[in-house]
C-alpha cells in the first residue's frame, strides 16, 4: 500500500486534524471575555434549570414525599402511571350487561391510574382544540390586517392585547363571564333567545329553550370553555407571526399571478399558503407544545373538575406532587409528559419534510 493510498480519506481511521495554531494573547483574552459574558447565563441555567431537572429525574425513581428522605423504588412510579392489565372477565360481564362492543373492550383494560389517562385525553383534546380554533383564525386575521388601510395599526394592537394580559387576570375575568346565571355569555345568549322567541312565537312556532349553559359546571362544556378562553388569548400572538410572514412574501409574485389571471383565492391557496408553510409549521409546533403543558387555566378556574372534565397532565402532576405529597410520582408524570411532547414534536418534524416548503 503506498503512502498516498494509506493516507487517502477512504483508508483514514481518524480524521486528520489540522495542527492547532497557538492562540495569540489577544485571541486568548477575547475568548476569556466571551466565556465571562456567557458565565452568568450559564450559571443561572445550571442552578435553576439543569440541576432541578436532574433532581426531578432522580426523584421520579423514588417515593419522595417532600418531607422525608427519598427511597429508591425503581420504575414503580412509571409502572403506576402507564401500566395496565387485561381482564377478560370484565368483557364477559360487559357483554352480559348489554354494553356496546367498544365499551366492552374498554372495560377489559384496567389501568393502574385511570386519572392519568383521563388527564392525558383531556390535554390532547385541549391542545388540538386550541390549535384548530387559533391557527386558522390567526391566519385569517393576519390576512385581513395585512393591508395598508388607515387604522390597521390600532386593530393589530387590539388583537394583541390579550396576549400580554396576565393569565391569572384573564382567567378570573372569564371565570365571571362563564357564570351560569349571571355571566355575560349566558346573559347575551338569553337575550338572543328572547329576541328570537319574540319573533317566532307570534308565528305559532315552538319557542327556543334557553340553554343556560353551565360553562364551568357542566362536564360537557367545561373543557370547551377553557379552549375558548385560551384561544381568545393566543390568537393575537399567532396573528402577529403570520402577519410578519405575510409581509415577507415578495409582492412581485402577486403581480405576476394577477397578470397570469389568478384569482385572489388562487393567490392565497397556491402562492401565499405554500410560502407560509414554514411559519405554519412553527405556529403548529409551538401551539401544540404549549397546549400539552396547560396548567394555569384548570388550576385557577376549575381545579380539574367537574368530574375530571378539565384535569390535565401538568395539573395532575402538580396535584400529586405538591398537594398529595407524592413528589416522586409527580416527577415521573412530568418525565412522561416530556417524553410525549418530545415524541409528538419529533413526528411533526419528520412529517414536515413532506409539506413544508423550504427555499433552496
Q: Does 217 bind another protein (CB under 8 A)?
A: yes
Distance CA 177, CA 197 (A): 24
- Half-sphere exposure of residue 182: CA atoms within 13 angstroms, side-chain side: 1
Q: How far is the CB of 337 from another protein (least distance, A)?
A: 19
* Contact region with another protein (CB under 8 A), list: 10-18, 155-163, 258-266, 324-332: 324-332
The enclosing H or E element of 101 equals: helix 101-108
Site string for another protein, 5-44 (x = CB under 8 A): ------------------------xx-xx--xx-xx--xx
Q: Give the residue carrying C-alpha cell 305559532.
A: 204
CB nearer to another protein: give 207 or 250.
207
Distance CA 104, CA 119 (A): 22
CB nearer to another protein: give 7 or 100.
100
Torsion of CA 119, 121, 122, 128, to 10 degrees: 140
84, β-bridge pairs:
111
Q: Does 81 bind another protein (CB under 8 A)?
A: no
Q: What is the DSSP string of 272-301?
A: IHHHHHHHHHHHHHHHHHHHHT--HHIIII
Q: Does 70 bind another protein (CB under 8 A)?
A: no
109, β-bridge pairs:
86
Q: Does 219 bind another protein (CB under 8 A)?
A: yes
Site string for another protein, 120-159 (x = CB under 8 A): ----------------------------------------
State phi, psi for 189 to the nearest 5 degrees.
-60, -45
Which of 58, 84, 295, 325 touches another protein by CB under 8 A? 325
Helix (H, G, I), strand (E, B) or coil at 85: strand
According to DSSP, residue 8 is labeled S
Q: Does 63 bind another protein (CB under 8 A)?
A: no
Q: Does 214 bind another protein (CB under 8 A)?
A: yes
Q: Does 87 bind another protein (CB under 8 A)?
A: no
Cell of 196: 328570537
Q: Does 250 bind another protein (CB under 8 A)?
A: no
* Contact region with another protein (CB under 8 A), list: 154-162, 212-220, 266-274, 337-345: 212-220
Q: Does 207 bind another protein (CB under 8 A)?
A: no
Q: What is the DSSP string of 172-214?
A: HHHHHHT-TTT-HHHHHHHHHHHHHHHHHGGGTPPPPPP----
Q: Does 56 bind another protein (CB under 8 A)?
A: no
Q: What is the size of the binding site for another protein (CB under 8 A)?
A: 41
- Contact positions vs another protein (CB under 8 A): 29-30, 32-33, 36-37, 39-40, 43-44, 47, 65-68, 114-115, 179-182, 214, 216-220, 301-303, 305-309, 319, 322-326
Amino acid at each position: 500500500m503506498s503512502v498516498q493510498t494509506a493516507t487517502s480519506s477512504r483508508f483514514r481511521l481518524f480524521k486528520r486534524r489540522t495542527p492547532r495554531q497557538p492562540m495569540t494573547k489577544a485571541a486568548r483574552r477575547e475568548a476569556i471575555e466571551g466565556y465571562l459574558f456567557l458565565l452568568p447565563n450559564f450559571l443561572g441555567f445550571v442552578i435553576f434549570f439543569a440541576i432541578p431537572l436532574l433532581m426531578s429525574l432522580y426523584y421520579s425513581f423514588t417515593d419522595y414525599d417532600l418531607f422525608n428522605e427519598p427511597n429508591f423504588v425503581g420504575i414503580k412510579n412509571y409502572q403506576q402511571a402507564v401500566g395496565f392489565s387485561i381482564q377478560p372477565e370484565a368483557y364477559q360481564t360487559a357483554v352480559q350487561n348489554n354494553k356496546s362492543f367498544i365499551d366492552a373492550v374498554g372495560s377489559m383494560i384496567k389501568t393502574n391510574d385511570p386519572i392519568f389517562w383521563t388527564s392525558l385525553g383531556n390535554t390532547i383534546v385541549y391542545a388540538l382544540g386550541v390549535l384548530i380554533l387559533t391557527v386558522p383564525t390567526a391566519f385569517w386575521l393576519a390576512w385581513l390586517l395585512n393591508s395598508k388601510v388607515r387604522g390597521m395599526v390600532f386593530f393589530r394592537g387590539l388583537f394583541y392585547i390579550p396576549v400580554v394580559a396576565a393569565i391569572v387576570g384573564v382567567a378570573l375575568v372569564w371565570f365571571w363571564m362563564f357564570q351560569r346565571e349571571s355571566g355575560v355569555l349566558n346573559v347575551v345568549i338569553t337575550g338572543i333567545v328572547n329576541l328570537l322567541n319574540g319573533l317566532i312565537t307570534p308565528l305559532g312556532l315552538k319557542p327556543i329553550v334557553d340553554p343556560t349553559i353551565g360553562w364551568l359546571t357542566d362536564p360537557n362544556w367545561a373543557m370547551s370553555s377553557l379552549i375558548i378562553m385560551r384561544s381568545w388569548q393566543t390568537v393575537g400572538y399567532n396573528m402577529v407571526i403570520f402577519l410578519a410572514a405575510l409581509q415577507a412574501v415578495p409582492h412581485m409574485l402577486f403581480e405576476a399571478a394577477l397578470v397570469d389571471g389568478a384569482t385572489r383565492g388562487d393567490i392565497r391557496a397556491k402562492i401565499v399558503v405554500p410560502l407560509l408553510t414554514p411559519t405554519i409549521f412553527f405556529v403548529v409546533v409551538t401551539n401544540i407544545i404549549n397546549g400539552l403543558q396547560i396548567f394555569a387555566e384548570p388550576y385557577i378556574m376549575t381545579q380539574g373538575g367537574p368530574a375530571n372534565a378539565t384535569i390535565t397532565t401538568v395539573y395532575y402532576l402538580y396535584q400529586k406532587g405538591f398537594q398529595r405529597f407524592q413528589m416522586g410520582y409527580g416527577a415521573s408524570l412530568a418525565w412522561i409528559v416530556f417524553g410525549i411532547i418530545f415524541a409528538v414534536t419529533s413526528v411533526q418534524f419528520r412529517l414536515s419534510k413532506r409539506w413544508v416548503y423550504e427555499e433552496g
